[in-house]
Amino acid sequence: MSVEIQRAVDRTPQPWKNGLGVQYEIMCDGSLPDDWTWRLSTADITQDVPFSVFPGVNREFCVADGNGVVLTINGVEHRCEPGSITKFRGDDEVHATLIDGPMKALNLMVRDGAGEKHLHLVRAGDSIGLNSQCVLVSIIERAILDLSTGEVALDRLDAVLFFDHGIRDTSHVCQVARGTVVVMAIEGN
């Protein structure tokens, strides 16, 4: 299994589809702006703002840094706090209202008909079986991961990408020694 560490500070900012915010791509199975079936990115939310519309897309939104946000989804308010994951449709009308200052989010978008993908929260003390290709993203604070190859330190929003290159080996385990990470399996494209 190969491991790639992706530092948040090295990602290139890109405008939101509606031009009202900034995102940073972690991974995508195609190319932007529209040639993809799934994508994982972070976003800076620095003001109260409507979200871009993505018809035919399932979205998962995780508060990764800051005090959170209230998402008004089709007129219903959802309080999103650090570490929470909120699911909604890309064609829903969504407006973000900040809770006490700017925040950063982790976003997963999956087009209808694509293989299922979801965000899963893993906290310190838990382990992750790495028997498939996956991405881990550190949220809320610095994370320390214990891998079979040694310890990896991740700053907030850094990511670790695991690739199995078609070789299934269930012996790889990642222990979250400190912090919180969000995991997304890549398989099932």
pLDDT given at position 149? 80
* Bridging pattern class, strands 76-80 and 22-28: unpaired
> Which two tokens mark 28?
């995508």
For residue 165, the one-letter residue type is: H
For residues 45 and 104, is the Cβ–Cβ distance under 8 A? yes
Distance from CA of residue 67 to its chain's centroid? 17
Quote the CA–CA distance of 44 and 2 in Å, as a whole number. Answer: 30
In contact, 63 and 82? CB cutoff 8 Å? yes
The Cα 42–Cα 129 span in angstroms is 24
CA distance 109 to 117: 9
Task: Give the residues across from 80 on adjacent strands.
Answer: 69
Tracing tokens 């929260």 back to the chain, one arrives at: 121
Question: Tell me, what's the pLDDT at 189?
Answer: 43
Per-residue pLDDT in tens (0 to 9) along the chain, 189 residues: 788 999 999 999 999 999 899 999 999 998 877 789 999 999 999 999 999 999 999 999 999 999 999 999 999 999 999 999 999 999 999 999 999 999 999 999 999 999 889 999 999 999 988 766 789 999 999 999 998 788 999 999 999 998 765 555 556 788 999 999 999 987 644
Per-residue pLDDT, 32: 73
CA distance 186 to 18: 27
Q: How far are the Cα atoms of 24, 59, 89, 137 from residue 156, in angstroms, in the given order? A: 13, 21, 27, 8
pLDDT (tens digit per residue) in 93-102: 999 999 999 9
pTM score, whole prediction: 0.91
pLDDT in tens, 8-34: 999 999 999 998 999 999 999 988 777
